[in-house]
């Protein structure tokens, strides 16, 4: 067991992280919550303690908000990785909502009677007692209405919620359709979670990108090592795992994922039948994205070049920060073929995406809603 505060101090003492007062205050709050949850769960799991316990209600969760790049996700992961809390799960919020929509749809197909949201709430709570959300945001009317009903039931059951967001709760779904129907959920969040703002304007992730090159070529041992080292430094994880994005009947495998940073190879992105819809889903899920092993594309590889052009357009239009590992400089990746004129725009964008001006753009929060969730 490594408590959150111990993990944080180890990173500071080993010069892996720079000390930041607001980050330390957040870790202390997460550490306090960790202790409270352990005490609460121990009292429920031990018969003698259960009889004499004065701890009858679950502790309040934690709603963490602040600017991008402040370390919210990485610090929440220290809480999640402590490994001593029963039935704790961590989700990227968008992936959780995709799964929830799918479960509601499945339940409606099974039974026309009854409330599918109650069924989903019971299903979630049977497996999860402490839920960690990364990148909590509400841009979709259907999501807003489901969240209100789903979490009213989950909180009644005793769920503890820990989440990160770029917005204060009062700013959620601002300007959204029928927002007045969503306001009770905001008040519920504020009753069930302590609100913590991580102060400061330093974007540690951006600083790392701006001071490093983000387009590595050629794809040799030295550049490959530097590329993966940068991923580990920005994501804060040398051993990032695999995650998936579920899109209707398709599953997109993210080969490396940690703290909101994703990595996929050119082969996974452009040699497989992915299109705009899938690339938009990737853009929704990641503010910083790594693409490895981009080859020189021949004039016979028509599908590959079309997908690559489309992918870069989506990432560029949504201001996603991208780190590339490629065989050649941009203009030499595709030098002849049917799509050469279109690729010239892509080549220009690949250069622009390396600029400090581009890297400092805000990630676009409101993107096209993918159809088919409900």
In this predicted model, what pLDDT tens digit does every residue of 88-125 receive, in sequence order? 998 878 778 888 988 998 888 887 777 899 999 999 99
Of 30-34, 41-45, 122-126, 308-312, the poorest mean pLDDT is in: 41-45
Which residue would you say has higher pLDDT here, 209 or 76?
A: 76
- pTM, to two decimals: 0.65
In tens, the pLDDT along 298-321 reads 999 999 999 999 999 999 888 899
Q: Which CATH superfamily is domain 4-197 in?
A: P-loop containing nucleotide triphosphate hydrolases (3.40.50.300)
Asked if the model's pLDDT at residue 372 lies above 50, the reply is: no
Confidence of residue 363 (pLDDT cuts 50, 70, 90): low
Closest CA to 38 of 88, 74, 89: 88
Which residue would you say has higher pLDDT here, 203 or 73?
A: 73
Asked if the model's pLDDT at residue 368 lies above 50, the reply is: no
Round to whole Å and give the CA distance between 328 and 314.
22
Asked if the model's pLDDT at residue 140 lies above 90, the reply is: no
From first CA to last CA, the distance across the chain in angstroms is 40
Per-residue model confidence (pLDDT) at position 307? 95
The domain limits of the chain are: 4-197, 204-359
Per-residue model confidence (pLDDT) at position 210? 63
Domains 4-197 and 204-359 share a fold: yes
Q: 362: which residues sit within 8 A by CB, 6+ positions away?
A: 68, 319
Strand partners, 257: 241, 262
- Architecture (CATH level 2) of domain 204-359: 3-Layer(aba) Sandwich (3.40)
In tens, the pLDDT along 68-79 reads 768 788 889 889
Taking the mean position of all CA atoms in its chain, how far away is CA 41? 27
Confidence of residue 239 (pLDDT cuts 50, 70, 90): low
Q: Rounded mean pLDDT of 349-368?
A: 71
């Amino acid at each position: 067991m490594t408590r959150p505060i111990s993990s944080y101090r180890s990173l500071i003492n080993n010069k892996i992280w720079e000390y930041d007062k607001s980050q330390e205050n957040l870790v202390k709050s997460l550490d306090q919550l960790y202790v409270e949850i352990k005490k609460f769960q121990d009292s429920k799991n031990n018969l003698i303690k259960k009889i004499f316990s004065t701890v009858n209600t679950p502790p309040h969760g934690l709603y963490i908000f602040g600017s991008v790049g402040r370390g919210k996700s990485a610090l929440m992961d220290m809480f999640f990785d402590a490994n001593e809390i029963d039935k704790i799960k961590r989700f990227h919020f968008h992936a959780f909502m995709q799964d929830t929509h799918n479960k509601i749809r499945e339940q409606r197909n099974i039974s026309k009677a009854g409330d599918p949201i109650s069924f989903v709430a019971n299903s979630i709570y049977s497996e999860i007692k402490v839920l960690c959300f990364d990148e909590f945001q509400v841009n979709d009317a259907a999501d807003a209405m489901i969240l209100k009903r789903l979490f009213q039931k989950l909180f009644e059951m005793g769920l503890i919620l820990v989440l990160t967001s770029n917005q204060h709760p009062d700013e959620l779904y601002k300007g959204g359709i029928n927002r007045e129907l969503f306001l009770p959920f905001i008040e519920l969040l504020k009753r069930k979670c302590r609100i913590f703002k991580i102060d400061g304007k330093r974007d540690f992730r951006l600083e790392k990108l701006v001071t490093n090159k983000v387009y590595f070529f050629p794809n040799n041992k030295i550049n490959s090592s530097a590329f993966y080292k940068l991923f580990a430094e920005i994501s804060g994880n040398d051993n990032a795992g695999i995650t998936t994005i579920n899109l209707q009947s398709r599953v997109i495998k993210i080969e490396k994922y940690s703290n909101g940073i994703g990595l996929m190879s050119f082969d996974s992105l452009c040699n497989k039948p992915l299109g705009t819809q899938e690339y938009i889903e990737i853009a929704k899920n990641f503010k910083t994205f790594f693409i490895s092993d981009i080859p020189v594309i021949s004039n016979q590889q028509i599908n590959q070049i079309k997908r690559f052009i489309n992918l870069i357009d989506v990432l560029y239009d949504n201001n996603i920060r991208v780190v590339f590992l490629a065989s050649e400089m941009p203009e030499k990746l595709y030098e002849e073929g049917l799509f050469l004129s279109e690729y010239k725009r892509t080549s220009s964008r690949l250069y622009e995406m390396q600029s400090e001006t581009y890297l400092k753009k805000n990630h676009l929060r409101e993107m096209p809603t993918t159809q088919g969730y409900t």
